[in-house]
Structure 1
Amino acid sequence: MKLQLVPARQGAAWVKLGMRTFFKQPLALAGLFFMFLALMSVATMVPLIGLPLAMTLLPAITLGLMAATREATLGKFPMPLILLIGFRSGPVKLRAMLTLGAIYAGGFLCAIGASYLVDGGGFARMYLGGQAPTAEMMGSGTFQAAMWTFIGLHLPLSLLFWHAPALVYWQGLPALKAMFFSIVACLRNFWALTVFALLWMAVMVGVVMLLITSANLFNNPGLANVLLFPGLLLVAAMFFTSLFFTYQDSFEAPTEAPVTPE
């Protein structure tokens, strides 16, 4: 395995590739993304262990979306079972994937727990969907401190896991080694990932502004509320589609990169 360095402009290419690939198989990739959301939602409903369970599953399910993107680039129609490819790739990779999930769940709970200590759980309840944010809450100093505490702890955690599931599956690395190479690759290709993130933020803001402007043109403010949620979900689906390309360009391809389970 060899780390590959890419220029900053490659971040824009990743965004374009994500969009282009999504529109090659829009029904399949959007459907898989909605299945991904459904799996996470069902997991969080499990009493007592719902949130840790969902976070444990997240790396493997994210890998499934990346594998679906790879199938689409090969002109194939990704089937629903591809979401579970991380659990169907042999006992060695399964153990590594579950180890990744357990470490990610522990790190996420530590980050959200630290924010809870800062403001008594206001940010945590809002982030986890249990409480709608209010203007007063958003303007609170303790809420903002809790938010930045979570971001400061979760950002390095995200970099550790950005490429890790793909490295476990396609490169055959053990969990800890995959996390190490993931964060090294993210830091070495920092500017490309920065461009990538900023462009996706711009796309999201652009979609919101387009929907609001369209609603005002039709003199129907409620139209924006109806279209905003599905519009943002489609942007999120395209974002997840583009993740595979950040991995593909950051690492030299192995001799064999199976998409189907061993």
Structure 2
Amino acid sequence: MASQGRRPLVAGNWKMNGLRESVGTVEAVRRALSPQLAERIDVLICPPSTLIASCVAAAEGSSIAIGGQNLHAKPSGAFTGSISAEMLADLGARYVIVGHSERRAYHNETDDGVHAKALAARRAGLCGIICVGETREEREEGRTLDIVRAQLAIGVPKGATGADTVIAYEPVWAIGTGLTPTPADVAEVHASLREMLGQLIGAEAQAVRILYGGSVKPGNARELMAVENVDGALVGGASLVADDFLGIAAAYAD
């Protein structure tokens, strides 16, 4: 439940999915997104980097923003295969996902690395979506809050604001599994993250949006989006299908 003047954000992460024909999904979302809903929420789609320019063109003139899924902390250099924040901005991206659990797990990204990338996003004028989340083992050990607060404490740059930073809570065990925490579980984590943000950046913490991600679907979106301190969703697989993505965004339709 977005509050304190925070505008809900519904973001889609396509991950390593999509060919040129997938740009049609952006066009479909654009056609079907009602003006009334577009006035209430921000909509973001993060395709693979190969499609960013095409998706920016497809979204031109609409309220839909396009973002990147990852970046290198340096603005340029001998980093074969990497893409910088400046390159993303040059393509027309406005956001970038930082420290997604899949980057942490499969590419050994650290909290310090996440911090550096969040600073890079700010440097290029992008809004960084900083991801935090616990594994199933960490949850079963009762360490969820300790884990996400520690990730937040290191990852969030000094002076972060609601304009350049979004937080996404993604319980690792819920991503792509069909499992979701209870609304009470989500409320507990988001409240703890909000409190931790207050320690890190003071009153500005009330302006930073905290998204929930992890098997968000049209069928559970309304219940999850109604939770206190949930300011939107970071959607994985469901964002690849325009109707499903719009079905999640419709949680804010009334």
Same fold (TM over 0.5): no
- Higher Cα radius of gyration: 1
- Which has the bigger relative contact order, CA under 8 A and spacing at least 6? 1
Return the structure number with greater strand share. Answer: 2
Return the structure number with greater helix share. Answer: 1
TM-score normalised according to structure 1 size: 0.28
TM-score normalised according to structure 2 size: 0.29
